[in-house]
């Protein structure tokens, strides 16, 4: 006979409530919808944008969104100071923002992975040197380093990708090194060596796939961070330069008109916030399903 | 069938040391033995007696911090310690292979069985992709895995422990090696599976005529499997003899102690004797014979000098002052 208390715990209202919460937690519908929307918007920008992003129309400058009294048809989210369509600029801006963040993550991810593998697998001097460099990179404030590098190289699309890439690899190196250290002591790595695999083959073919889970999680969580960094740098005028468009740049341009045209900064800002949120939620979800350690917790 | 007297492997005065801060850990200290073609040599000893390091030294895969500091490893008339790393890789997996202790961690969780079985074949042979899969199926068949053509598409976590150890064995024999090192390869399995895997090793030996080094701490397995046995203690090889000879006439006090500490069925009830004391810390091995603090027949000379190897008859060597002739003792 099951005691009433136990029954209440297992089937009671609290249990159902918890299960709904966990169901919502396990299915990252929200984040997937956000990211798919952003991605589709970026890819299909030429097809769905109501106007060319650079088309100037002084007669309709600083018009509010369409649902406000002074809104004009054809500009659903209003126009900026030169009469350019905010929605179109956001769609094209998504292209640049995603391009920059994905390329930057690819650069920092591969650089960090390579160095982390080297440090973790070979150990000794490699480990000491690479880890000291990593510590140094982690201790320098990002903005300071980015300002310095852009100051030397000059702002451009390529440079901002490179800057974001090389200022961000240390995290990856550190994580990959840690994982490599634990994986390389496992029997199957030893057996790979026993079977006559070279060091490169052992580390790239046998160790790397076992580190990939954590890498994917870290990269997804990083997506939001890099978008914010890119926006911050564009906002400061050191990132994406006109005529290219990025969300951070739009916020920077709209700052002057904040008191008269709230929509100019609000919509790009919301886009940044939502995309970052989407990336973080997806990262959390991936961590839950890919990392057995977190799954139990 | 095969030339049973030819040595495939000769280890001479092997020393592998580990640096631990300022201490030197003599994990393998002056070990010599040989393995003949088609023979199963057992290596027994307590945990930390240097069995595994000896085996890894043969493949020159000493764990981090360790170094082979002296000796010779003659494999098929060539000294492996004089080979370059590249040459050494051609020995590993192709001519000497190894099975490790735990089948649960011996297979890479992210690759299918078929990929893992064919990997050494691709590394060492000139097979193309299609032939390799057929060869892999044949290998799985050889280790008696049911429906191998289905199993190659499985991931390791889908197989049981016994099956995984069979897969690991099939990987090890894939390139038809001359020497197979089984490092406590059955310790983690339950007894019935253990018996099956051991029988499998025996069958493989009969079929392919390879030599096996069987590292274990189970004297029952030694009695049932091995042609000869080597007893290791604190990095030294104390006694090596034919299995029958060792079990009927153990010479070293340590071997005697080991044999006394095995429970036997059907011989009446008796108190099980264990060897008193603990094995020494390898960084601080006592001077002289490493076993003297625990030995029941300690002589004065045991505490001072390390005993030389004494031949006790056909293929029976022991490292103990009790069996050293009088002349040497006086010196």
How far apart CA A74 and CA A76 sit, in angstroms, is: 6
Residue of A nearest to B169 (CA): A191
Within a domain: B323: no
- b/e string for A15-45 if b means 16 or more Cβ within 10 A? eeeeeeeeeeeeebeebeebbeebeebbeeb
Number of continuous H segments (helices) and E segments (strands) in chain B:
11, 12
Q: What is the nearest CA distance from B19 to chain A, expressed in angstroms?
A: 14
Tens of pLDDT, residues A60-84:
777 878 787 777 787 888 888 888 8
Domain extent at residue A181: 45-54+86-296
Q: Do both B166 and B182 map to the same domain?
A: no
| Selected residues 107-126 of chain A with any CB under 8 Å from a CB in chain B | 123
Q: Which residues of A touch B98 (CB under 8 A)?
A: 191, 194
Would you call A187 and B105 a contact, using CB atoms and an 8 Å cutoff?
yes
Q: What is the ipTM of this complex?
A: 0.78
Helix/strand/coil for B91: helix
Domain extent at residue B259: 7-95+177-191+205-263+274-287
**Is the CB of residue A291 less than 8 Å from the CB of residue A40?**
no
pLDDT at B326: 58
Closest CA to A220 of A139, A126, A141, A283: A283
Q: Do both B117 and B164 map to the same domain?
A: yes
**Within its chain, how far is the Cα of B330 from the centroid?**
36
Q: Check CB contact of B112 with chain A, cutoff 8 Å.
A: no
How far apart CA B223 and CA B225 sit, in angstroms, is: 6
Q: What is the DSSP letter of A207?
A: I
**Within its chain, how far is the Cα of B220 from the centroid?**
15
Closest CA to A96 of A41, A142, A167: A41
pLDDT level of residue B317 (50, 70, 90 thresholds):
confident
What's the number of domains chain A is made of? Answer: 1
pLDDT at B331: 46
Q: Which of A185-189, B91-95, B320-324 has the lowest mean pLDDT?
A: B320-324
Q: How far is CA B269 from each of CA B149, B264, B266, rounded to the nearest angstrom?
A: 51, 9, 8
Q: Which of A187, A201, A210 is nearest residue B106 as measured by Cβ atoms?
A: A187
Report the CATH number at residue A152: 1.10.3720.10
Helix H segments across B31-128? 51-58, 85-91, 113-124
Structure-token pair, residue A261:
């045209």
Would you call A190 and B61 a contact, using CB atoms and an 8 Å cutoff?
yes
Average pLDDT estimate for A97-121? 92
Helix/strand/coil for B21: coil
Within a domain: B292: no
Of the CA atoms within 13 Å of residue B183, those in its CB half-sphere come to 24
Helix/strand/coil for A114: helix
Q: Is the peptide bond before A243 cis (omega within 30 degrees of 0)?
A: yes
Residue B5, pLDDT above cutoff 80: no
Q: Do both B168 and B32 map to the same domain?
A: no
Within a domain: A278: yes
Tens of pLDDT, residues A128-144:
999 999 999 888 888 88
Residue of A nearest to B93 (CA): A195
Q: Do both B86 and B217 map to the same domain?
A: yes
pLDDT at A294: 46
pLDDT level of residue A6 (50, 70, 90 thresholds):
very low
Report the CATH number at residue B40: 3.40.50.300
Q: Check CB contact of A209 with chain B, cutoff 8 Å.
A: yes
Within a domain: A114: yes
Chain A to chain B, count of Cβ pairs less than 8 Å apart? Answer: 59
Q: Cβ neighbours of residue B100 under 8 Å, at least 6 residues apart?
A: A187, A190, A191, B106, B168, B183, B184, B185
How far apart CA A215 and CA A219 sit, in angstroms, is: 6
How far apart CA A108 and CA A257 sit, in angstroms, is: 36
Q: Which of B94, B107, B123 is nearest residue A188 as measured by Cβ atoms?
A: B107
Q: Check CB contact of B111 with chain A, cutoff 8 Å.
A: yes
Q: Do both B230 and B117 map to the same domain?
A: no
Residue B329, pLDDT above cutoff 60: no
How far apart CA A250 and CA A78 sit, in angstroms, is: 13
pLDDT at A130: 92
Q: Do both B61 and B185 map to the same domain?
A: yes
Q: Which of A142-146, A217-221, B124-128, B290-294 has the lowest mean pLDDT?
A: B124-128
**Is the CB of residue B9 less than 8 Å from the CB of residue B210?**
no
Q: Check CB contact of B102 with chain A, cutoff 8 Å.
A: yes
Q: How far is CA B151 from each of CA B113, B197, B225, rounded to the nearest angstrom?
A: 7, 18, 29
Helix/strand/coil for A256: helix
Q: Do both B22 and B160 map to the same domain?
A: no
What's the number of domains chain B is made of? Answer: 2
Q: Do both B71 and B185 map to the same domain?
A: yes
Structure-token pair, residue B101:
């202790």
Closest CA to B192 of B165, B156, B171, B212: B165
Q: What is the pTM of this model?
A: 0.77
How many other CB atoms sit within 10 Å of the CB of residue A259?
6
Backbone angles phi, psi at B311, to 5 degrees: -85, 125
Q: Do both B162 and B71 map to the same domain?
A: no
Which one of A125, A179, A190, A194 makes the best mutation probe of the B interface by having the most chain B beta carbons within 10 Å? A194
Q: Which residues of B touch A192 (CB under 8 A)?
A: 108, 119
Which one of A126, A182, A195 makes the best mutation probe of the B interface by having the most chain B beta carbons within 10 Å? A195
Within a domain: B165: yes
């Amino acid at each position: 006979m099951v005691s009433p208390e136990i029954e209440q715990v297992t089937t009671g209202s609290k249990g159902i409530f918890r299960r709904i919460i966990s169901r919502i937690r396990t299915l990252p519908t929200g984040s997937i919808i956000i990211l798919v929307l952003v991605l589709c918007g970026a890819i299909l920008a030429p097809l769905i944008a109501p106007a060319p992003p650079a088309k100037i129309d002084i007669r309709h400058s600083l018009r509010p969104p369409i649902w406000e009294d002074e809104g004009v048809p054809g500009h659903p989210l209003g126009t900026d100071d030169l009469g350019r369509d905010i929605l179109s600029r956001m769609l094209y801006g998504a292209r640049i923002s995603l391009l920059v963040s994905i390329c930057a993550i690819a650069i920092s991810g591969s650089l960090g992975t390579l160095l982390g593998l080297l440090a973790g697998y070979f150990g000794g001097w490699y480990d000491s040197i690479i880890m000291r460099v990593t510590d140094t990179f982690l201790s320098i404030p990002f903005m300071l380093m980015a300002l310095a590098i852009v100051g030397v190289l000059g702002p451009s699309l390529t440079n901002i990708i490179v800057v974001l890439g090389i200022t961000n690899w240390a995290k990856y190196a550190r994580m990959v090194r840690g994982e490599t250290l634990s994986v390389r002591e496992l029997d199957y790595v030893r057996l790979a060596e026993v079977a006559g695999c070279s060091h490169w083959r052992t580390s790239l073919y046998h160790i790397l796939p076992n580190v990939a889970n954590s890498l994917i999680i870290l990269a997804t969580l990083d997506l939001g961070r890099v978008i914010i960094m890119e926006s911050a740098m564009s906002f400061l005028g050191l990132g994406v330069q006109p005529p290219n468009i990025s969300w951070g740049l739009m916020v920077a341009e709209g700052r002057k008109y904040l008191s008269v045209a709230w929509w100019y900064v609000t919509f790009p800002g919301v886009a940044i916030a939502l995309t970052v949120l989407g990336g973080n939620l997806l990262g959390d979800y991936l961590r839950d399903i890919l990392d057995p350690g977190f799954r139990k917790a | 069938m095969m030339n049973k007297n030819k040595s495939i492997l000769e280890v001479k005065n092997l020393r592998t040391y580990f640096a631990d801060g300022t201490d030197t850990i003599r994990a393998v200290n002056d070990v010599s033995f040989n393995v003949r073609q088609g023979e199963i040599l057992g290596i027994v000893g307590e945990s930390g007696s240097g069995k595994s390091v000896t085996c890894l030294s043969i493949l020159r895969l000493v764990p981090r911090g360790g170094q082979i500091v002296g000796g010779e490893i003659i494999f098929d008339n060539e000294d492996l310690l004089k080979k370059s790393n590249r040459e050494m890789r051609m020995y590993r997996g192709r001519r000497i292979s190894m099975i490790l202790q735990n089948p649960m961690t011996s297979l890479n969780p992210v690759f299918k069985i078929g990929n893992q079985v064919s990997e050494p074949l691709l590394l060492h042979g000139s097979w193309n992709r299609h032939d390799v899969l057929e060869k892999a199926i044949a290998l799985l068949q050889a280790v008696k895995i049911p429906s191998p053509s289905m199993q190659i598409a499985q991931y390791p976590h889908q197989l049981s422990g016994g099956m995984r150890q069979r897969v690991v064995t099939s990987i090890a024999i894939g390139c038809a090696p001359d020497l197979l090192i089984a490092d406590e390869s059955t310790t983690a399995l339950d007894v019935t599976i253990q018996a099956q895997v051991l029988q499998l090793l025996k069958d493989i030996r009969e079929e392919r005529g390879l030599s096996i080094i069987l590292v274990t701490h189970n004297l029952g397995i030694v009695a049932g499997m091995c042609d000869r046995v080597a007893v290791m203690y604190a990095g030294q090889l104390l006694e090596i003899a034919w299995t029958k000879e060792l079990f009927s006439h153990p010479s070293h006090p340590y071997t005697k102690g080991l044999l006394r500490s095995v429970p036997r069925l059907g011989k009446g009830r008796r108190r099980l004797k264990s060897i008193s004391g603990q094995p020494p810390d390898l960084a601080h091995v006592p001077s002289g014979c490493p076993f003297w603090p625990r030995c029941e027949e300690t002589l004065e000379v045991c505490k001072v000098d390390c005993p030389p190897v004494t031949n006790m008859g056909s293929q029976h060597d022991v490292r103990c002052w009790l069996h050293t002739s009088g002349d040497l003792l006086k010196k």
